[in-house]
């Protein structure tokens, strides 16, 4: 573990967050948007795990617990997102975010 410096992990999580945010802002398909959201959430989870691993004895438990809880939270969020997609698809027949423009007139 100690062979890889923590900065490398932080760079990876920053890149993951960047990819996720880019996807959330540019993707027009709701499913791809959900995947982008997952990637951004995973950046935070990775951060918690890395900091827990490098924090030495005792301090790491909180970070590991946070990471596990966040995995559950991310799954909950996607479940809700999929429920909204399903309902939207039934009413509108499309899950393209760019076509949802009834509001803002």
List binders of another protein among 26-65 (CB under 8 A): 30, 33, 37, 40-41, 43-45, 47-48, 50-51, 55, 59, 62-63
Q: How far is CA 31 from CA 26, 37, 39, 71, 79, in A?
A: 13, 10, 13, 19, 12
User: How many Cβ atoms sit within 10 Å of the Cβ of residue 73?
Assistant: 14
Evaluate whether 52 touches 40 at the Cβ level (below 8 Å).
no
**76: contact with another protein by CB under 8 A:** yes
Residues near another protein (CB under 8 A) are 10, 13, 17, 20-21, 24, 30, 33, 37, 40-41, 43-45, 47-48, 50-51, 55, 59, 62-63, 66, 69-70, 73, 76-77, 80-81, 83-85, 87-88, 90-92, 97, 100, 102-104
């Amino acid at each position: 573990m100690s062979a890889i410096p923590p900065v490398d992990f932080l760079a990876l999580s920053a890149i993951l967050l960047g990819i996720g945010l880019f996807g959330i802002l540019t993707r027009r398909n709701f499913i791809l948007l959900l995947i982008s959201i997952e990637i951004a959430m995973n950046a935070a989870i990775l951060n918690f795990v890395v900091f827990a691993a490098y924090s030495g004895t005792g301090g790491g438990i909180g970070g590991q617990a946070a990471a596990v809880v966040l995995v559950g939270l991310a799954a909950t969020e996607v479940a809700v997102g999929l429920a909204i997609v399903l309902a939207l698809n039934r009413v509108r027949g499309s899950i393209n975010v760019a076509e949802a423009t009834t509001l803002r007139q």
